Chains A and B, each alone.
Chain A
Amino acid sequence: MWFEQVLFFVAGIGALAGALGVVMLRNPFYSVLALVVHLIALAVLFLLLHAEFLAAGQIVVYAGAVMVLYLFVVAYIGGSDEPLAAEGGPLGVFGPLFAAAVGVELCIAFVASGLKALGTRGAEIGTGFGAPEQIGELLLTKWLVAFETASFLLLVAAVGAVVLARRRRGLEEEGAAPGPRREAPTETLEVRV
């Protein structure tokens, strides 16, 4: 199945590249775009894993809607190039180090596991596997609760977004306007050491 393998490597490299791009690139704009690349690559991998529906969802919802939202916010805030210079120091060193350590451990876990199936292409599956029909059926039967809760979660998230992002006239009147300069008066306490 050379075709599959090639596809895997292409997509895999794409995904990794996208991920690295997200982390490495200075400009948030480019990071977002890198993520888009990453997502698309992932979608391909999903396809390789017989998750057609998810692949589609990935492209449409994620790479589409969510990323657009991102871009709007970045545009709104003005994606300033952040100076990476200050990011040296212990964090700059240890951060990647520990992360890498975790990665190695995870790989060990996968490789060393006694599960035979890991080394296979996976169980035999019917053609309907990962197709919208199956997903839909599962969502509405076995995973009803998860589905409903997720929908409720979306509602809550919307409310939260509203709370956080809406301009509130009421408060400006009450004088508790945003901005550090107008914070409540601070005071220092004399404290005995």
Chain B
Amino acid sequence: MIDLLQLAASEAKAPVIDYRELSPLLALAGGSVVVLMVGLLRSAFARRVLVPALSALTLLVAIGLTIWIWESGDREPIIEGALAVDALSLGVSMLIYVAGLVTIVLSLRALAPEVAGHGEYHSLLLGSILGMVVLAMAENLITLFIGLELLSIPLYVLCATELHRRTSLEAGLKYLVIGSVGSATLLYGLAMVYGAAGSMQFGEIGAALGGGGLSATDPLLLTGIALSATGLAFKSSVAPFHQWTPDVYEGAPTPITTFMAVATKAAAFAVFLRLFDQAFGLAQLEWGPALAVLATLTIVIGNVGAIAQRSLKRMLAWSSVAQAGYLLAGVVVGSELGVRATAFYLAVYLLMNVAAFAVVVARERVSERGDDLAAFEDLGTAQPWLAWPMTIAMLSLAGFPATAGFIGKFYLIDASVEGAYTWLGIAIVVGSVVSLVYYLRVVAVMWMGRYEIEMPGPPRRIVRRVAGTSPEADARAQPEVAAIAILFAAATIVFGIWPDPLFEAARDVGSALPNLR
């Protein structure tokens, strides 16, 4: 017994910790703690100004470090293969950081941090970001799961932060319960995969499939794949696991909604790509069709669901469901082109949605109609600097040319045709046709609003002032929001006409996953 212990002890050697690759995560963790501490200070300045500033600083540092790592392009899994620091994870984490910055800016005048306490609010946010990055970098099942949870748990809280508002709590609860069901399913799925493959490492699972005696059609494995697919599909709000999305997006404070819409999706799809294209890559023939069906279903449901919405947050939520369907197409084909297209579209998606949500934030704070369509009437003449970003965002989401959205869709369709899923490309197209109905309605309300516009049927409940109504905030008093909207709308146009930089990154990301078609 004793000697066994000594044996074990002698075997135990500390793992090599590559601090350089790890630095962004450390920065985030540290930042989150510091912010929490600073938030405990009494002075309003510390809470209202210093905390956001520090969080933003943290993210900027993380971005800087990420770029630094990206520049020196060595791409080895670190710490016993727990984390993969490659173009995919780095690129996605960049998106996440940007989304985080946006959220911090949008939260400046929001009510949520007031209620939750700035320190807590921001440290939770940073914690969630950390979770996302871990998720994006996850190279084995455990890291994947813990990352997912670290992503979700702060979000459950953040959704509920406007405690005095019933819908906020409802959103939190729904998200928590459904989310936990989702992650439990995922857990079970991962367990089965582990059981089938006998390893937690993506690489080794892939190897096992590749000839390590594990057949790609083993029921245990496939069921595991099915369960984990369900879990991830839930996180990326793919139908039929999407239903929490509209409710949570509507109930949550709008800055958080923005964050969830763009960042969560990015992280979820990153891991989707990594797990399915790398670990399960060789079973693509099995899971491809199933996911394709899910994608189609998602596209349809998301778009038809959005048509009926008057609340813009809700509409964007539904549209994000549809977008998830488009993105899934890139996963389905399981090809390098698919990875590129997905990555590209994630970036584009970030630009468009941030622009749109920023305008929603700006409006709902001043209009007593909250985020209802009616609050946007005649914005074109009243506040063109808000109407234009919204218009561009809508057109881009609808996939009009000269916007990044068009190229994104083009890329995705290209990928799906390339991967012999032409009908999926057609589905994407049909979906965007349907989506015109609600995107154009927003544009019409803003520019042609003086004339009666066919609104969707009366909402089942009274339209209520939605999140974040802070009385002191009015249009001119929140330049930062308008700035965000304009900035991202401009980016949408620029990348719509000159997308090469994004393509560069996308190509880099595509090369991250080894042995793809």
Which residues of A pack against B, CB within 8 Å? 105-106, 108-110, 112-115, 118, 126-128, 133-134, 137, 140-146, 149-150, 152-153, 155-157, 159-160, 162-164, 168, 170-171, 174, 176-180, 182-189, 191-193
Contact = CB atoms under 8 A, between A and B. Distances in A.
Most buried by B among A133, A155, A160, A177: A160
Most buried by B among A118, A137, A142: A142
B204 interface: no
Contacts of B33: 155
Contact of B124 (A137, A160, A180): A160
Interface stretch (B212-220, B274-282, B324-332, B422-430): B212-220
B369 interface: yes
Given A160-B157, A184-B464, A189-B372, A152 B130 contact: yes
Contacts of A118: 220
Query: What is the size category of the interface that chain B forms with chain A?
Result: 35 or more
Interface of B: 1, 4-5, 8-9, 11-15, 17, 29, 32-33, 36, 79-80, 82-83, 111, 114-117, 120-121, 123-124, 127, 130-131, 134, 142-143, 146-147, 149-150, 153-154, 156-157, 160-161, 163-166, 188, 192, 195-196, 215, 218-223, 310, 368-369, 372, 374, 452, 454-455, 457-459, 462-465, 469
Given A113-B220, A149-B150, A162 B82 contact: no
A112 to B, nearest CB: 5
Contacts of A133: 5, 8-9
A94 B37 CA distance: 49
Q: Is the interface of B mostly helix, strand, loop or mixed?
A: helix
A191 B124 contact: no
A113 B197 CA distance: 12
B457 A193 contact: yes
A145 to B, nearest CB: 4
Given A134-B8, A140-B12, A189-B310, 5 more contacts: A109-B192, A149-B143, A149-B150, A156-B124, A170-B114
A105 B5 CA distance: 43
Contact of B123 (A159, A191, A192): A159
7 closest Cβ pairs, A-B complex: A160-B157, A113-B220, A109-B223, A145-B82, A156-B127, A191-B458, A109-B219
Most buried by A among B142, B163, B219: B219
Contacts, number: 167
B15 A163 contact: no
B15 A142 contact: yes
Given A146-B143, A171-B164, A191-B457, A163 B82 contact: no
A17 B62 CA distance: 50
Given A156-B153, A191-B458, A110 B463 contact: no
B350 to A, nearest CB: 24
Contact of B83 (A134, A145, A184): A145
A163 B114 CA distance: 11
B14 A146 contact: no
B286 to A, nearest CB: 14
Nearest to B13: A141
A190 to B, nearest CB: 9
